[in-house]
Amino acid sequence: MHSYSTEAATKNTTLLYTEASEALADESLAKGDLHEAVKMYEQILPSTSRSGIARARVLRKLGNCNISLWRFQQSARYFEEAIQILEACRTRNKAWWICWIDIQNDYCYIYHTTSQHDQLNSSINSLKKVIHQKGTKRQRIRFLTAVYYDAIQRCRWYMPPDEIIVLCEMIKQLAKEEKDIANEITALTCQALAHMWRKEGNDARSEAFRAQELLKQFHNDESLSLTYEIITYSYRMDNNLETAHKWMQAAIAHERGTNNKQLQVLQTGMLAWFGVKKGDIEQAEILAKQTLEYFTEVKFPFLFIALMPLIFIAISRNDIEKAAACAFLLLHPMAQRIPPSITTLLQQGLALWGKRNLKDAKATFTVAVQLAEKEGYF
């Protein structure tokens, strides 16, 4: 009897210690102290060996740390191990479903960010079957955000339809009802991006400013960086060079402390654009090439950010071969769609280049760049 009581007491003590340690690690993750959170979760893992669900939950949190550190392959490895553990569980209770749904929602973010469109759609379809019966309200909010990711990819980030704005409003309302500030901020930035790609600059900035107000209550470096990017790019698309430059400087100052590689490279692309505007062609070319190299490596769709400056530079040097190569990349079916008027001109320029009519090809590419500048794409 005494032996049993001692064993039970030891198990309870271990459980309480693990729960307390996990709570501390959660605080570190929420504060953005990612390396400390990783260290703490890894220390907890051995004590979760008797509980499959607890171990899967901690593995999932390790995956989230790596998402924030922009280590998607490592995140996926943690998620896969967590899913294997869950699949081996005999009982699928409420805690099991919460953990499984959380991992699927996390995967949706990875697939969206790394442009794995088919996998994103597959995860959404898997979640559709269970989210309303097994998921919490918070998980349903995250699922709707994944639906947003899928929808905006389907229109290729060009003139998103009204349904996407309505979806964002729905997510915001649900988040408010749940007092879920983190997901409300996500919904605001999603809606701001949708407005930006609809060329509704004032609406885009309004949503971004509201997100910044909420971020005073719930600090998140990545979300704050994204609001700076949205405000900067919306002013760029409005051809407001002076104000865009002011917000770009604020974004650069902030993003020195963020782990989000994409946001950092977006700033490099913006610097290339400003370099062209200021006449610093050589530096602009270096920055644009760096941006393009990263974008093509990770299949980031917003190629116009790097390619429009490169087309302009190629034309100015009478390098029509290089201009044509950049135009060809810009029309890639996985890239962000650009206005049809610009697309048509690029296609016409490529056709002329193919016929070796370089004079008219140059003239056509020149008009395309001029129109892109007018439309806010250069």
Assigned domain for 136 exists = no
- Enumerate the H helices of the chain as residue ranges: 2-31, 34-44, 52-68, 72-88, 94-113, 117-128, 131-134, 137-154, 162-177, 181-197, 201-214, 221-237, 241-255, 261-278, 281-298, 304-316, 320-330, 340-354, 358-375
Q: What is the mean pLDDT of the chain?
A: 91
Which residues form the domain of 21? 15-91
Domain harbouring 82, CATH code: 1.25.40.10
Q: 83 in a domain, yes or no? A: yes
Q: Is residue 102 part of a domain?
A: no
Q: What is the mean pLDDT of residues 339-358?
A: 98
4 has a pLDDT exceeding 70: no
d(CA 302, CA 198): 15
Residue type, 214: L
pLDDT-derived band at 99 (thresholds 50, 70, 90) equals very high
Residue after which a domain boundary falls, among 65, 91, 117: 91
Average pLDDT over residues 336-355: 97
Task: Point out the domain boundary residue: 25, 58, 91.
Answer: 91
Q: What percent of the chain has pLDDT over 90?
A: 75
Q: What is the CA radius of gyration of the chain?
A: 24
What is the phi/psi pair of residue 292, to 5°? Answer: -65, -40
> Is the Cα torsion angle 121, 123, 129, 132 positive or negative in sign?
negative
Domain-embedded: residue 254: no
Residue at 65 is within a domain = yes
Quote the pTM value. 0.87
Confidence band of 10 (pLDDT split at 50, 70, 90): very low
CA atoms of 277 and 27, how far apart (whole Å): 44
Q: How many domains does the chain have?
A: 2
Concatenated DSSP letters of 59-90: HHHHHHHHHHTT-HHHHHHHHHHHHHHHHH-S
Q: What percent of the chain has pLDDT over 70?
A: 94
The DSSP secondary structure of 119-185, one letter per residue, reads: HHHHHHHHHHTTHHHH--HHHHHHHHHHHHHHHHHHTTTSS--HHHHHHHHHHHHHHHHTT-HHHHH
In a domain, 23, yes or no: yes
Q: What is the pLDDT of residues 43-83, one digit of tens each?
A: 999 988 777 899 999 999 999 999 888 888 999 999 999 99
Find the range with the poorest average confidence among 61-70, 248-257, 322-331.
248-257
Q: Would 46 be classed as within a structural domain?
A: yes
- Tell me, yes or no, whether 253 lies in a domain: no
Q: Which of 172-181, 217-226, 229-238, 315-324 has the lowest mean pLDDT?
A: 217-226
